[in-house]
Structure 1
Amino acid sequence: MATIKLGLVDDHNLFREGIKSLLNKIPDIQLVLEAVSGKDLLEQLDHVVPDVILLDLEMEDMNGVDTTIVLKKTFPDIKIIILTMHKEERMTSYLMEIGANGYLLKDTNQKELEDAIRSVYEKGIYFNAFVSQALLKGLKNKANKPPAIGKNYQLTSRELEVLELITKEYTTTEIAEQLFLSTRTIEGHRKNLISKLGVKNTAGLIMKAIKDKIISV
């Protein structure tokens, strides 16, 4: 089993210590970076690049929103899980739209934290009940114009198959097994879908597919 390299960004020492104590109980998740702000994080990324980053929203120097935007431009392969006390659904929806891969409240337990880290590492996305509700409400609020059903997307039948499995949260390996293709081929389809739909990541693909009714859910 591969070791997941994790970064933790939060300006509260006690909270970081609590998260570290939870992570110490998970042998294949290794904390490789610890930062107190977005600015601190970006400076450290010159030396070490985690697979997944747990990112707080409210920090001095550079907050979580600005950090997410910069990370997605400069380190697009890093997966981001927002870890915060904010329960505002509009904020959740916005962060997922700009590139966050998951959103957790700070009162989460060890199991959900572990599940979220593994999910974004393996699938590129983590949905829990809170995130799903926030996204659906966000999409509903934007649905006051007719959906662009396949508009200018020109998706092939294979890409549609892959997209449908992505929305069901299948991993690349699972999709490859389902369609009898190589994982490299599936990753190629995923990149093409991201490009054609004009999104940033797997979360964006799922939101776009639902919003524009490209696939039925």
Structure 2
Amino acid sequence: MQKIRVLVVDDHTIVRDGICALLALVGDIEVVGEAVNGSEALKMVAELKPDVVLMDIAMPIMGGLEATRRITREFPKTRVLVITQHDDKEYVFPVIESGASGLISKAAASSELAAGIRSVFQGDSFLSPSVAKLLVENYQKTAKERNHLDPYNQLTEREREVLKLLAEGFSTQEMADMLVITRKTVEGHKTNLMTKLGIHNRIDLVKYALRRGIISI
């Protein structure tokens, strides 16, 4: 059985020893070398051609992010799985941007570490549960902020109905009859929606509705 060849990169001997001890128990994974910083890792990748590099972030001489950028650029067949004790977005997003195939916590169980190595070796991405949770929460927060900034999302359901009818060319009386409300109420909705959208005339309103796909020609 062909084993996955792994290079372990960390400036702490106790961490490297712990990782190597865990991986020694995994039948399809073989540690072929150890490096204490990014600069040494680059030399060993060139020499050993490992399948996967387990890369720490904070190291002297050359840190893990710079080493990852260079490895993924100069040795595209070698995958990098970053191992870190940090799982906040200050570290997560730079790791992803560096070209790493995955990110896993140093506190991960041996089964999770092995799964991460196998995953990136096969060309997939791998994120430990805590990192995946952070990314989902960040996406949800960004989406919520984006929706909040979109003035259309500030319109009530009735205002959206009036917007569509206005853009389709219906008169105030026609809208009042269709929606079973008074002309005064229609005018109120019209004023409110145009204020929220920052639109001041019907022509611009029609253009807006076309851009949003609310109406079509």
What SS is found at the alignment partner of 1:117? helix
The residue aligned with 1:59 is 59
- CA shift for structure 1 position 46: 2.7
What SS is found at the alignment partner of 1:40? helix
Q: Where in structure 2 are the equivalents of 1:44-83 lying within 5 Å?
A: 44-83=44-83
Contact 1:120 1:126 in 2 (8 A): yes
Q: C-alpha root-mean-square deviation of aligned residues, in Å?
A: 2.0
What's the CA shift string for 1:166-210, capped at 9, x where partnerless?
Answer: xxxxxxxxxxxxxxxxxxxxxxxxxxxxxxxxxxxxxxxxxxxxx
**Is 1:103 paired with 2:109?**
no
- CA shift for structure 1 position 56: 0.5
Contact 1:71 1:78 in 2 (8 A): yes
What SS is found at the alignment partner of 2:48? coil
Contact 1:53 1:79 in 2 (8 A): yes
Larger Cα-atom Rg: 2
The residue aligned with 1:17 is 17
Contact 2:104 2:127 in 1 (8 A): no
Give the distance between the partners of 2:127 and 2:16, measured in 1 at CA: 23
**Is 1:28 paired with 2:28?**
yes
Aligned residues: 146
The residue aligned with 2:130 is 130
- CA shift for structure 1 position 95: 1.0
- CA shift for structure 1 position 145: 6.7
**Higher normalized helix content (fraction of residues):** 2
Give the distance between the partners of 1:60 and 1:106, measured in 2 at CA: 19
Q: Structure 1 residues 45, 134: closer, same or farther in 2, change over 3 A?
A: same
Q: Which runs of 5+ in 1 are unaligned?
A: 147-217
Identity %: 32
Q: Which moved more, 1:129-138 or 1:98-107?
A: 129-138
AA matched with 1:23: L
AA matched with 1:116: G
What's the CA shift string for 1:75-126, capped at 9, x where partnerless?
Answer: 1221111111112123212311331111111111111111111111124211
What's the CA shift string for 1:38-72, capped at 9, x where partnerless?
Answer: 00111222311111110001100001111111112
Give the distance between the partners of 2:5 and 2:16, measured in 1 at CA: 16
What SS is found at the alignment partner of 1:20? helix
Give the distance between the partners of 2:131 and 2:124, measured in 1 at CA: 15
Q: Return the TM-score normalized by structure 2.
A: 0.61
Give the distance between the partners of 1:132 and 1:71, measured in 2 at CA: 24
Q: Structure 1 residues 128, 53: closer, same or farther in 2, change over 3 A?
A: same
Contact 2:66 2:98 in 1 (8 A): no
Q: Where in structure 2 are the equivalents of 1:1-217 lying within 5 Å?
A: 1-140=1-140
AA matched with 1:60: P
What SS is found at the alignment partner of 1:54? strand
AA matched with 1:113: L
